Amino acid sequence: MEWFIKVLKQYADFKTRARRKEYWMFVLVNTLIGIVLSLLVLIPYIGILFSVVSILFSLALIVPSLAVCVRRLHDVGKSGWMYFIVLIPLVGAIWLLVLFCTDSQPGINKWGPNPKETSAADQFDQL
């Protein structure tokens, strides 16, 4: 849940990098919340209320979702504009999935230091 909140705190940050774990934990929590809301819509009488909540939740997460996707692409050394590759039918979505699953580019790139290396150094300093 901390990764989900981290993405929400950085909801409009399109200039840094996001680890694989940050991206996939956000996707997991977002999917689980979406499933729960979809099931709550099926409840008689109050399902309409949960439909509205579900729509508002989806709308509220458009910008944070796009931001974490762009930061994930930055982490593998690609421009955020590479996200538009998803517009190519079938092949684009598969290629974007491959990029999201690719490990971080080591060291510093033009979007900043590797967050994996930075967080490991921070954890070592805390010991």
Domain limits, the chain: 2-121
**Residue 35 CB neighbour total at 10 angstroms:** 10
- Measured CA to CA, the distance from residue 46 to residue 72 in angstroms comes to 38
pLDDT, tens digit, 9 for 90 and up, residues 4-40: 999 999 989 999 999 999 999 999 999 999 999 999 9
Q: What pTM, to 2 d.p., does this model score?
A: 0.86
- φ, ψ at 112 (rounded to 5°): 125, -175
Please give the distance of CA 2 from its chain centroid, rounded to a whole number. Answer: 13
The confidence score (pLDDT) of residue 127 equals 46
**Per-residue confidence (pLDDT) for residue 93, from 0 to 100:** 95
Q: Give the pair of three-digit tokens for residue 87.
A: 């517009």
- Does residue 57 surpass a pLDDT of 90? yes
Please state the rounded mean pLDDT for residues 31-53. Answer: 92
Q: What is the mean pLDDT of residues 69-88?
A: 95
C-alpha 15/C-alpha 17 separation (Å) is 7
Kindly report the CA angle at 57 between 81 and 3, in degrees rounded to 5?
A: 65
